[in-house]
A and B are shown apart, each in its own frame.
Chain A
Amino acid sequence: MKTHSIRRLIGATLLLALTAASASAQNLTGAGATFPYPLYSKWFDVYHEKTGIQINYQSIGSGGGIQQVKAGTVDFGASDAALSNDRLKEMPRRVIHFPTVAGALAIAYNLPGFTATLKLTPELITGIYMGTITVWNDPKIAAANPGVTMPTAPILAIHRSDGSGTTNIFTTYLALVSTQWKELVGVNTSVSWPSGVGGKGNEGVAGLVRQTPGAIGYVELAYAKQNQLQVAQVRNKAGRFMEPTLASTTAAVAAAADALAKDARAPIANAATPDAYPIAGLTYLLVYQDQKDPARARALANFIDWAIHDGQALAEGLEYARLPEALVKVNEASLKKLTAGGKPLAAAQ
């Protein structure tokens, strides 16, 4: 389009005029999900010390990451929500998903004086967020928590007001356990919540839960730990009540290994194995299969190779669940598919 080419001309002139001591070709830029940011920032720092390559990543949100990959302003994007087939069609070239780590969502609650651990079933969680269960002493909750007296207080269901991969994981889970949720509300980074109030960010939800007696909310595990929130046990598909831990999260990923080998975007929520925690999800790096610049592509491939092997050792210290071996193999296979200008990359270091 005419206006587009005029703008490109202006942009190119600007670029030419300003490119003084520009960064070397081996500095990469990435943007996207907030959830893995602490781990990624550690990875990039360690990798920088090891290889001298600067990888600059900013957490502007999963949607932001996807948009920037589409626009070509970054070398890679990061997203907690995998791209659906429709979204993939909107991208100019083929995109590969590289799962890096997994995280669990804790169902945190605030019931002062309640010393036992709350047990929740999928039906209860769905009911609370649909707005059909409104008080803590509802008989259905009492049924799942025998021998414990539930307080008579209204439930304040807190969800995320900002679009987020965390909401995507949570709604994926709810859609898997409730056809009513799937039809009425659906799965997305942002949905039309039937009830409750929204807090901004994980820290917003955690803060609201911590402050408000009677509140319940879903947050990433690290936030529940940091805010010392009471965390519920959730019944998984196998019938066991599980707490969100790194072990139960890794078990959830391992349970989906076969599905992930076929499609790296397969959900890991509501896993069927007894050790798995049901509300978990993977986070991905989004990379074009065919890169433009061979040097940058090689640098990117080397980094991803490091991240899925050596980088995994750093994950657990920061409350992220590392990838099981099966998934590492899936990623290795995907790495081999990367090309630059149509030609395959040289073997990774």
Chain B
Amino acid sequence: MPPENFTPLASRGRGLRRRAVNAAAIGACVLAAALILLPLALIVWHLLAKGLPAFGPAFFLHMPKPVGEPGGGMANAIVGTLILVGLGALIAVPVGVGTGVYLAEYGGGRLSAIVRYTADLLAGVPSIVVGVAAYGLVVMPMGRFSAIAGGVALGILMLPTIVRSTEEVVRLVPQSYRHAALALGAPRWRVLQSVVVPAAWSGIVTAIMLAVARAAGETAPLLFTALGNRFWSLALDQPMASLPVFIFDYARAPYDDWNRQAWTGALVLLLLVAVVSALMRLTTRRIAGH
């Protein structure tokens, strides 16, 4: 029984003030959304306006042409970005998701505290420093620039986002799910595989997509690892072209034709990430069993 002096919220006589606070808070949220979404929308608009003119199948299928010759595309850069980000994800997703699950499920020990701190630390490393580190770790021993080195650099960049976000969403899976599975006789690892991770899967996919999106747009680390390539090359031990580096080179040039292609490149990059993200969301629905 509630104590004698308990007054439920609804019957306290300050209805007007609470309604006003309510309205103000909701208004603040709407304002916040508008203030942030407006510049983002402006940037996308800018991108569309400048990038659409040179957009077309030619861009995807043709190789870059030297200055002064019309047309040309970034076929090798598009494929290169897919390969490089794929390599990075190959490294970062298993390690990152596994680490996030570890921190959430077996957390509390000294290893967890250390790993959590280092994941946060990695989040703050400038991408160029990661590139320089990857240069020392991969390029120097190999004696040349390569796609592998680029993949390693991108993987390192993707790690912190995946680790921390996976930990947070796995932690938020209700304990009741775990207890129910354990009560049914499932061993701990089975609980993780069949219950916890699928329940957190939507959040994990968001984390992976954010990490992929960021890695896809990074220029600085690739300059020191994959370098770049104006020719068609799929070899993993050779320099590889990538969209961000191309965009970077073309945007800086004093030629309008190249500048236009840079904008189109940025648009294509967004499109690539959108397609990959949509594909991942589709698999999400299937795994989570909706």
Give the interface of A toward B (CB within 8 A): 7-8, 10-12, 14-15, 18-23, 29, 31, 34, 37-38, 41-42, 44-46, 48, 54, 56-60, 64, 71-73, 201-203, 206, 220, 222-223, 225-227, 317-319
Task: Assess the B65–A45 pair: CB atoms within 8 A.
Answer: yes
CB-based contact A58/B223 at 8 Å = yes
Q: How far is the CA of A102 from the CA of B68 in the complex (A)?
A: 20
**Once the chains bind, are A220 and B228 in contact (CB under 8 Å)?**
no
Quick check: B239 and A29 within 8 Å, CB to CB?
yes
Q: Are B254 and A203 in contact (CB under 8 A)?
A: yes
Q: What are 19 inter-chain pairs, A to B, with CB distance below 8 A?
A: A7-B140, A7-B141, A11-B142, A11-B143, A14-B237, A21-B235, A22-B237, A23-B235, A37-B249, A38-B253, A38-B258, A42-B67, A44-B230, A45-B65, A48-B231, A56-B230, A58-B228, A64-B223, A201-B252
Give the docked Cα–Cα distance between A183 and B237 (Å). Answer: 47
Which B residues are within 8 Å of any A CB, using their own CB? 64-68, 138-146, 148, 223-224, 227-231, 233, 235-239, 245, 249, 251-256, 258
The 6 A-B residue pairs with the shortest CB-CB distance, nearest first, are A11-B141, A42-B66, A222-B254, A226-B254, A58-B228, A18-B237
Do residues A15 and B252 form an inter-chain contact, with CB atoms below 8 A?
Answer: no
Residues of A within 8 A of B145 (CB): 29, 73
A72–B68 touching, CB < 8 Å = no
Complex Cα distance, B65 from A318, in Å, reads 14
Complex CA distance for A259 and B103, rounded to whole angstroms:
67
Q: Chain A nearest CB: distance from B214 CB in Å?
A: 21
Are B68 and A318 in touch, CB under 8 angstroms?
yes
CB contacts (< 8 Å) of B249 on chain A: these are 37, 58-59
The reply to whether B233 and A23 form a contact with Cβ atoms under 8 Å apart is: yes
**Nearest CB on B from A231, distance (A):** 14
Nearest CB in chain B to that of A15: its residue = B142
A58 near B245 (CB under 8 angstroms)? Answer: yes
**A110→B289 CA distance, assembly (Å):** 62
CA distance A48 to B66 in the complex (A): 12
Whether the Cβ atoms of B253 and A57 lie closer than 8 Å is no
Give the complex CA separation of A236 and B212 in angstroms. 53
